């Protein structure tokens, strides 16, 4: 286990902290910590950050009730950035969204990441279109018994 003294804070005394949902691994936010906010985080097991704009500590959830309970904190190989896994209460973003990262800039048409939502959309499309030669079409045509045997 590392200790705080082994971390490399920048010239302003800050280290970036990437916060992820411990269950889904979805990136929730990128914030900054100083030694004091990291110490508070370790003590309370709740995320505490340093606000660069307000120049003060802020315990996530103190005013909103959307606390982030720390599951783990891992430093990168250079020890100059952190990943914090959390169990969250409510939305992570001050705008009320689940994550601060909700504005897509680019998504490859050929290298899309797997998601349950994407799989569901694919299956809905196959059920509607029933493309010839598709195993999914075969399953839909054979009915629920065949589908359940396949899932089982």
What residue spans define the domains of the chain?
A: 4-88, 116-151
Q: Are 55 and 49 in contact (CB under 8 A)?
A: no
Tokens of 2: 């590392």
| pLDDT average, residue stretch 78-88 | 98
The rounded distance, in Å, linking the Cα atoms of 60 and 17 is 13
pTM check: above 0.85: no
As a 3-state breakdown, the chain gives helix, strand, coil percent values, each rounded to 5, of 30, 25, 45
Statement: residue 56 has pLDDT above 80: yes
Backbone angles phi, psi at 48, to 5 degrees: -135, 130
25-53 pLDDT, tens per residue? 999 999 999 999 999 999 999 999 999 99
Question: CB-hemisphere CA count at 13 Å for 100?
Answer: 11
The rounded distance, in Å, linking the Cα atoms of 149 and 126 is 19
| pLDDT average, residue stretch 4-15 | 97
Query: Domain 4-88: which CATH class?
Result: alpha beta
Statement: residue 133 has pLDDT above 80: yes
Q: Average per-residue pLDDT in the chain?
A: 93
**What DSSP state is assigned to residue 78?**
T
Statement: residue 152 has pLDDT above 90: no
| pLDDT average, residue stretch 62-86 | 97
pLDDT at 107: 84
Look at 14 and 115; give whichever has higher pLDDT: 14
Q: Which of 47-56, 57-66, 108-117, 133-142 has the lowest mean pLDDT?
A: 108-117
88-132 pLDDT, tens per residue? 999 999 999 999 999 989 988 888 777 788 888 889 999 999 999
DSSP bridge pairs for 20: 27, 85
């Amino acid at each position: 286990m590392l200790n705080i003294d082994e971390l490399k804070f920048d010239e302003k005394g800050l280290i970036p902290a990437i916060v992820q949902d411990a269950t889904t691994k979805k990136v929730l936010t990128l914030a900054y910590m100083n030694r004091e906010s990291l110490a508070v985080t370790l003590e309370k097991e709740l995320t505490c950050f340093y606000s660069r704009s307000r120049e003060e500590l802020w315990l996530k959830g103190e005013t909103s009730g959307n606390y982030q309970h720390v599951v783990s904190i891992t430093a990168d190989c250079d020890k100059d950035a952190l990943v914090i896994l959390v169990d969250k209460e409510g939305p992570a973003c001050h705008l009320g969204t689940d994550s601060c990262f909700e504005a897509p800039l680019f998504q490859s048409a050929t290298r899309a990441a797997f998601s349950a939502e994407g799989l569901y959309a694919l299956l809905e499309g196959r059920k509607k279109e029933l493309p010839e030669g598709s195993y999914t079409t075969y399953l839909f045509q054979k009915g629920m018994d065949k589908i359940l045997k396949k899932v089982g």
